[in-house]
Structure 1
Amino acid sequence: MKATHDDTTFTLTGEIWSATYPLDELPKWLRWYRSRKARFPKAGNSYDATIAALEGLAGELGVTVDDG
């Protein structure tokens, strides 16, 4: 999974899909993916790459994301 950004959006790119969102939605999506991992433990590590990509992007941009 790869997360890239420009001035106003970020894009998640997986093996078979990609999606682009407004940058101000980064915290919302990181919380959402973290909640899926916590809520559906049978999914194993399927959310890990996306969470890592979003956390990396948040760190790069200096965005703090609470679990909130």
Structure 2
Amino acid sequence: MPTTELRDVDPHAAVESLRAALTEVGIVFPSLGVDFANPDLKLVELGRVRADVAERLAEAIRRGGRE
């Protein structure tokens, strides 16, 4: 069951971790970055991606990142 507990995670570290994981499965989010509008919320901006990139992301999630 997913947890709703909030963890104190550095958004910059989270962005780099996500970027690295996406790169491993051949996916690039050009707009991936930290949202600086509300720094206290520690938001990560995923941005917009083309439909084919979204589909590849869905496929990677379904197979657990395994090729």
Relative to the length of structure 2, the TM-score reads 0.33
Structure with the larger helix share: 1
Structure with the larger strand share: 1
Relative to the length of structure 1, the TM-score reads 0.33
